Structure 1
Amino acid sequence: MNFFSFITQDWAANNDSAKGRVIMLLFRIANFCTTRKIYYYLGFPYRVFYKILVEWIFCIEIPWNARIGRGLRIYHGQGLVLNSQVVIGNNCTLRHCTTIGNKQRPNGVLTGSPVIGDYVEVGSNTCIIGDITIGDHVTIGCGSVVTKSMPANAVVVGNPAAPIKTRLQAVEVA
């Protein structure tokens, strides 16, 4: 994938959110700097600029080395915090005041970070923490605290979050 295609892979997904477009464009440029060793060193000043602009001005923490799939949508991007080890699949949606990361055990050891599947919708004021897996096509309701793995096609709400229903998958006719 060439540079222009790489940095604009989230453009269409954020077509109704100018802030989402700007943040994802800035993230993808910083993330591109991880693709080759020469870009890593040449991109250092840009990554400093990225950290100051996105974290301090926009109040969104998306580490430049996070693994995020194509088509991430950011709605009302304020107070969004991601851990650098988080893995997010393709075509996911994140809303404001969402935290996705690891947790600290009583002995001081940090757990792993979540792996989020494709087409996951995350509501506002949601916490997804720990070494868990969120399946594909999951909807997580506003204010949920997800600390356990969730199956695919589930609608998840609550504190602690639990699936309240499972959506049927569309069957393709051959």
Structure 2
Amino acid sequence: MSYIFQDWKANKGNLKGRMVMVLFRLARPASVNKLLRVIWLPYLAFYKVFVEWFLCIELPHWTQVGEGFYLGHGQALVVNGCTVIGKNCFFRHSTTLGNVRRADGSYSGSPIIGDNVELGSNVCIIGEVKIGNNVRIGAGSVVVKDIPDNCIAVGNPARIIRQLEPEAVLA
């Protein structure tokens, strides 16, 4: 039962975030077991219609999301299903994490987000990009290159403006 509510504390005071993450955690087991996927099909249809169509949050149930995920404002979030998101991340509204369609029609890999990453509103992380641990990315940034641990990045394209001291990150 604790698996289903692992994001509850992180979303304190955020009813929409709590609701979406509980629904996501309930749908997630269907992505690892084919039999469960068949049995769970009505719930997965409900999840898709309610969360994606009505709440406008595209967070596929097969996405790997670490515990303590905070969904700030919960609007216009688009996450590619192959994205990996670490623990204790904070995503604000209008954020997109996706892959790149190449000229030959194939797609690049999806972003990998480390632990303790905070994304401002309207952040786009596109392609096979790795975001390190303890990273903050400012609002409106477009990330197309890797960002190492303990950094603050802003802009279009995103650039590192400050390297954080490991002690400052924990404070």
Q: Identify the TM-score tier after normalising by the shorter chain.
A: over 0.9
Alignment deviations for residues 50-81 of structure 1 (CA, whole Å, 9 cap, x no partner):
00000110011000110000010001110000
Partner of 2:114: 117
1:37 to partner: Cα distance: 3.4
Partner of 2:139: 142
Q: Name which of 35, 38, 59 aligns with 1:62.
A: 59
Q: Name which of 150, 154, 158 aligns with 1:153.
A: 150
Q: Name which of 34, 37, 40 aligns with 1:40.
A: 37
Alignment deviations for residues 107-131 of structure 1 (CA, whole Å, 9 cap, x no partner):
2221000000000000000100100
When the two chains are superposed, the root-mean-square deviation of aligned CA atoms in Å is 1.1
- CA distance in 2 between counterparts of 1:39 and 1:11 reads 24
- CA distance in 1 between counterparts of 2:32 and 2:3 reads 11
Structure 2 residue 100 is the aligned partner of structure 1 residue 103: yes
Which amino acid is the alignment partner of residue 74 of structure 1?
L
Given the superposition, is the C-alpha separation of residues 11 and 159 from structure 1 closer, same or farther in structure 2, using an over 3 Å criterion?
same
- CA distance in 1 between counterparts of 2:55 and 2:96 reads 15
1:34 to partner: Cα distance: 2.6
- The number of equivalent residue pairs is 168
- What SS does structure 2 have at the residue aligned with 1:6? coil
Which amino acid is the alignment partner of residue 130 of structure 1?
G
Q: Give me the TM-score of the superposition, normalised by structure 2.
A: 0.95
Quote the sequence identity (%). Answer: 49
**1:10-21 paired onto structure 2 within 5 Å:** 10-21=7-18
User: Is contact 1:6-1:32 (8 Å) kept?
Assistant: no
Which amino acid is the alignment partner of residue 93 of structure 2?
H
Q: Name which of 6, 13, 18 aligns with 2:3.
A: 6
- Structure 1: segments with no counterpart, 5+ residues: none
- CA distance in 2 between counterparts of 1:40 and 1:71 reads 25
- What SS does structure 2 have at the residue aligned with 1:56? helix
- CA distance in 1 between counterparts of 2:32 and 2:69 reads 19
